Amino acid sequence: MASLVTLGGPQLDPAVLKQKEQRLFSILEGLGKVLVAYSGGTDSAYLAWAAAQVLGKNAIAITADSASIPESHKRDAERFAKSWNIRHEYIRTYEFENPDYVKNEPDRCFHCKDELFTRLEEVARERGFEHIIYGVNQDDLGDYRPGQNAARLHQVRAPLVEAELSKAEIRELSRMAGLETWDRPASACLSSRIPYGTPVTKETISTVERGEEAMRELGFRQFRVRFHGELVRLEIAREEMQKVLGLDVFDTLVETFKALGFHYVTLDLEGYRQGAMNEVLGLKR
């Protein structure tokens, strides 16, 4: 009898996981030729890997070449694709030329994904690819994600949802397949660090990106640098909070973020939580 697996949540049955993976493979096989919207995170990496396993060169993973995507994420995405022999390309997106994106209202993600899927549709038409797919999972359906509306508008398929795969299941299947992305921390575009109503600029998100690179160099793994004008709010995972309590780390963080132009450097005592900027919307997660 197969043993059960636990990833910080409910137990996962390997036999059930494999059944779901086979369902995913069948869905992908039926799509024929696909473009994968690929950020390099756990979900899109697993989807790109699965598509390559099933469709070979008839699957292309495409990453947005956008200022809102950290350079480190682009490097990771490229490295993963190369190591697993996945066809991988970049495509330029122009969301920063859209005033509706820049003004950063709660539907910002819609405009970002609308731009991405529009560009992917152009590639699909030019090359004769039949479908665009992306890595939304079953758990994401209960979250506030305007980008899903853009996916529906562009008829983008969500094979992980169709196979009823949760985040924990995708992580475990990735681990079983030997994918190094199985335990990658949750990630989001840099614009998500800016409060709604504050315009998103390339300069602002560049500041955030440099701050997050500094946090990684200090050894932090799951965190966010939240921009609030002259104040920066650091969200750090509860299990990593101990690292920040030494005065030497305090001093380094203050020096780092003041050098980036912030007047006040603060630590959020609630710690890291995904989608913290959505809390002001009063939506249940």
44-91 pLDDT tens trace: 999 999 999 999 999 999 999 999 999 999 999 999 999 999 999 999
Can you tell me the mean pLDDT for 31-41? Answer: 97
The one-character DSSP state at 8 is S
Higher pLDDT pick, 11 / 106: 106
| Same domain, yes or no: 36 and 173 | yes
Task: Estimate the crossing angle of helix 71-83 against helix 42-55, to 10 degrees.
Answer: 30
| Same domain, yes or no: 162 and 253 | no
| Same domain, yes or no: 11 and 142 | yes
- CATH number, residue 230: 3.30.70
Residue 135 backbone phi and psi in degrees, to 5? -95, 35
**Domains of the chain: total:** 2
| Same domain, yes or no: 166 and 258 | no
Residue 135 pLDDT greater than 80, yes or no: yes
- Its domain, for residue 108, covers 5-177
In a domain, 185, yes or no: no
| Same domain, yes or no: 230 and 128 | no
| Percent of the chain predicted with pLDDT > 90 | 85
Q: Which of 151, 177, 203 is the last residue of a domain?
A: 177
Can you tell me the mean pLDDT for 124-144? Answer: 92
Residue 276 pLDDT greater than 70, yes or no: no
| Same domain, yes or no: 198 and 171 | no
Per-residue model confidence (pLDDT) at position 11: 83
Per-residue model confidence (pLDDT) at position 132: 98
Q: Which of 177, 200, 216 is the last residue of a domain?
A: 177
Count of C-beta atoms within a 10 Å radius of residue 219: 9
State the chain's mean pLDDT as an integer.
92
Cα-Cα-Cα-Cα torsion 40, 43, 49, 54, nearest 10 degrees, comes to -140
Q: Which of 124, 142, 177 is the last residue of a domain?
A: 177
| Same domain, yes or no: 40 and 155 | yes
| Same domain, yes or no: 137 and 225 | no
Per-residue model confidence (pLDDT) at position 172: 97
| Same domain, yes or no: 146 and 24 | yes
Can you tell me the mean pLDDT for 202-207? Answer: 97
**Token representation of residue 169:** 């299941």
Count of C-beta atoms within a 10 Å radius of residue 71: 10
Residue 206 pLDDT greater than 80, yes or no: yes
Per-residue model confidence (pLDDT) at position 244: 87
In a domain, 182, yes or no: no
**Token representation of residue 134:** 């992306």
| Same domain, yes or no: 165 and 269 | no
Task: State the pLDDT confidence band at 283, using cuts at 50, 70 and 90.
Answer: low
Per-residue model confidence (pLDDT) at position 6: 45
| Same domain, yes or no: 72 and 12 | yes
Residue 236 pLDDT greater than 90, yes or no: yes
In a domain, 183, yes or no: no
| Same domain, yes or no: 197 and 116 | no
